[in-house]
């Protein structure tokens, strides 16, 4: 690993020294390459993780093209030095600017559930900002990872992007290597290990971890839209989505009608066309365990919930659940299950939605948009959508982040650059005076000036004392500048 990091570091020096425009020119072909290879991506991802081909094209290929366009259009301006305003009276002759420098060598460790879109939404801004990247895809989706790396073939100098294949031990080695930043997307348990490894080296990491998203359906919701949206939000990618709806809180007045619509929709879904199998047996056994646990705690099956014959199939399940005491309502399920729970009112729904270790996204379904917007402010979630769910991960200009154990990483939008670059403040001083007011020697005149500034700036100082301070400064500052 050390040799790969060394190679990346050497390559980064030259890559980071290019102008953003030169880097954009090098990387821009990725946009059409990903679109032109849509079918290949769809087939490979489908074979590796089982999702329907159309989900790969809609959820991974097309959004990636948007990601390239967004960063290519905006990175130059984002990296431009920004002037920092300085008070000319306190700091005469000085000009300061914030420069964003590439972080250096970035390790990118990703999961299998969106094996194309997820790595690319970090790879593109990381590379365009001038970093070198060591990219480790999940061992469950290595071919998809290889296709992602191939998008850059012939576009980058050797060492700027390195594909590192392997499992947990390789991820651990990368997190402990001499890199400048680890960007990690995956489970809370692994994220914690990565955070420990980075803390040992006092190196930053950006963590995007699990979720337990809630959807809140209010009595005045458009029930058809809410049912369609909740079913898609819970079952797309067979529920193996960090932002899958894993809890539904519905107001009593519409609970029966809403549940009936959800059940009818779920029963109409076609195996492998609308909902694929789970990606691994390990994932399926978690789902089975959660459903069993909910049933044992009083939950009632309303649809599905059976293991299928082929692959790791599991028929999409709907349950009515009365409380949040089971694993199904507490822990990340990552599978095609919709638990519906009845609440008395919006306040109760918000309280139950917020009572989670996670806090990725949440949705409110209501026709009263103003009321929903007010409620949105009370939700402990990095993304709140009103009358929709989860799709905003595909918007390159909208930040994606979370609360609590979902981690503190931010992807998409200019905010992602806070991790991928480091700030350098550069100050230029054109003041020709022999010395600054605050330099040596410390004299009684300097004492007088310091206290006069305090009196002048404090809001509690009376007007007469302020005028007195101005006169004091008018006398003392010139004296001080003359060496007094």
Residues lying near ligand NAD in the complex (CB under 6 A) are found at 109-113, 118, 136, 138-139, 167-168, 171-172, 175, 185-187, 190, 193-194, 208-211, 242, 332, 334, 360, 406
Q: Shortest gap between Cβ of 232 and ligand NAD (angstroms)?
A: 17
Identify the H or E element spanning 126: helix 117-128
Q: Shortest gap between Cβ of 435 and ligand NAD (angstroms)?
A: 53
Output 74 or 187, the one with its CB closest to ligand NAD: 187
Q: Shortest gap between Cβ of 166 and ligand NAD (angstroms)?
A: 7
Output 141 or 320, the one with its CB closest to ligand NAD: 141
Q: How far is CA 144 from CA 182, 383, 462, in A?
A: 21, 27, 69
Closest to 266 measured CA to CA, from 298, 306, 299, 293: 306
Q: Shortest gap between Cβ of 314 and ligand NAD (angstroms)?
A: 16
C-alpha 305: how far from chain center: 31
Output 97 or 414, the one with its CB closest to ligand NAD: 414
The 10 Å Cβ neighbour count of residue 220 is 15
Output 169 or 309, the one with its CB closest to ligand NAD: 169
The Cα–Cα gap between 187 and 193 comes to: 10
Given the structure tokens 């009365």, which residue do they identify? 322
| Residue at shortest CB range from ligand NAD | 171
Which of the residues 60, 205, 242, 246 is marked catalytic? Answer: 242
**Phi first, then psi: what are they for 280, rounded to 5°?**
-140, 160
Output 351 or 415, the one with its CB closest to ligand NAD: 415
R_g over Cα of the chain = 28
Terminal Cα distance for the chain, rounded: 60
With a CB cutoff of 8 Å and minimum separation 6, the contacts of 63 are 117, 121, 393, 394, 396
Output 108 or 303, the one with its CB closest to ligand NAD: 108
Q: Shortest gap between Cβ of 355 and ligand NAD (angstroms)?
A: 19
Q: How far is CA 206 from CA 292, 401, 418, in A?
A: 34, 10, 10
Q: Is residue 406 exposed (0-12), middle (13-18) or buried (19+ Cβ within 10 Å)?
A: buried
Output 89 or 202, the one with its CB closest to ligand NAD: 202
200 is catalytic: no
Phi/psi region, residue 379 (left: phi>0; alpha: psi -120 to 50; beta: rest), is beta
Q: What is the dihedral of CA 103, 148, 24, 413, to 10 degrees?
A: -60
**CA-CA-CA-CA torsion sign (163, 59, 112, 248):** positive
454 is catalytic: no
The 10 Å Cβ neighbour count of residue 428 is 9
Residue 148 and residue 120 in contact, taking contact as beta carbons nearer than 8 Å: yes
Which of the residues 48, 60, 208, 405 is marked catalytic? Answer: 208
Q: Shortest gap between Cβ of 167 and ligand NAD (angstroms)?
A: 5
Q: Shortest gap between Cβ of 332 and ligand NAD (angstroms)?
A: 5
Output 206 or 417, the one with its CB closest to ligand NAD: 206
C-alpha 128: how far from chain center: 18
Residue 56 and residue 41 in contact, taking contact as beta carbons nearer than 8 Å: yes
C-alpha 357: how far from chain center: 17
Q: Shortest gap between Cβ of 28 and ligand NAD (angstroms)?
A: 26
Identify the H or E element spanning 74: helix 62-79
Catalytic residues: 208, 242
């Amino acid at each position: 690993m050390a040799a790969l990091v060394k190679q990346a570091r050497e390559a980064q020096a030259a890559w980071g020294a290019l102008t953003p425009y030169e880097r954009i020119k090098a990387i821009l072909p990725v946009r059409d390459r990903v679109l032109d290879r849509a079918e290949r991506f769809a087939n490979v991802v489908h074979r590796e993780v089982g999702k329907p081909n159309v989900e790969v094209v809609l959820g991974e290929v097309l959004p990636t093209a948007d990601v390239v366009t967004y960063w290519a259009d905006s990175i130059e301006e984002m990296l431009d030095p920004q002037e920092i305003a300085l008070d000319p009276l306190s700091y005469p002759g000085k000009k300061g600017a914030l420069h964003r420098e590439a972080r250096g060598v970035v390790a990118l460790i990703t999961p299998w559930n969106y094996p194309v879109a997820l790595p690319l939404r970090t790879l593109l801004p990381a590379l365009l900002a001038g970093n070198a990247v060591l990219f480790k895809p999940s061992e469950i989706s290595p071919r998809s990872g290889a296709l992602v790396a191939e998008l850059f073939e012939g576009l980058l100098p050797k060492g700027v992007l390195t594909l590192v294949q392997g499992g947990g031990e390789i991820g651990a080695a990368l997190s402990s290597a001499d890199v400048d930043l680890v960007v990690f997307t995956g489970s809370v348990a692994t994220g914690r290990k990565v955070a420990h490894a980075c803390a040992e080296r006092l190196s930053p990491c950006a963590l995007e971890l699990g979720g337990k998203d809630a959807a809140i359906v209010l009595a005045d919701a458009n029930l058809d839209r809410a049912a369609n949206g909740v079913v898609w939000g819970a079952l797309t990618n067979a529920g193996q989505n960090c932002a899958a709806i894993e809890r539904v809180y519905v107001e009593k007045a519409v609970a029966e009608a809403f549940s009936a619509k959800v059940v009818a929709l779920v029963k109409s879904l076609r195996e492998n066309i609308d909902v694929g199998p789970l990606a691994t047996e390990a994932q399926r056994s978690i789902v089975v365990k959660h459903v069993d646990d909910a049933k044992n705690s009083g939950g009632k099956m309303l649809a599905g919930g059976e293991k299928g014959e082929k692959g790791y199939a599991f028929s999409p399940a709907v349950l009515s659940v009365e409380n949040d005491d089971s694993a199904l309502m507490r822990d990340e399920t990552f599978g095609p299950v919709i638990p519906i729970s009845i609440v008395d009112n919006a306040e109760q729904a918000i309280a139950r939605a917020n009572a989670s270790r996670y806090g990725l996204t949440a949705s409110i379904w209501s026709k009263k948009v103003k009321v929903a917007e007010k409620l949105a402010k009370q939700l402990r979630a990095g993304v709140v959508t009103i009358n929709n769910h989860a799709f905003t991960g595909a918007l390159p200009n909208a930040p994606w982040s979370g609360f609590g154990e979902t981690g503190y990483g931010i992807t998409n939008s200019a905010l992602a650059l806070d991790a991928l670059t480091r700030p350098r403040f550069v100050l230029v001083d054109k003041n020709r005076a022999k010395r600054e007011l605050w330099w040596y020697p410390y004299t009684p005149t300097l004492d007088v000036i310091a206290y006069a500034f305090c009196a002048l700036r404090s809001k509690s100082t009376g007007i007469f004392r302020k005028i007195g301070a101005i006169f004091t400064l008018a006398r003392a500052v010139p004296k001080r500048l003359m060496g007094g």
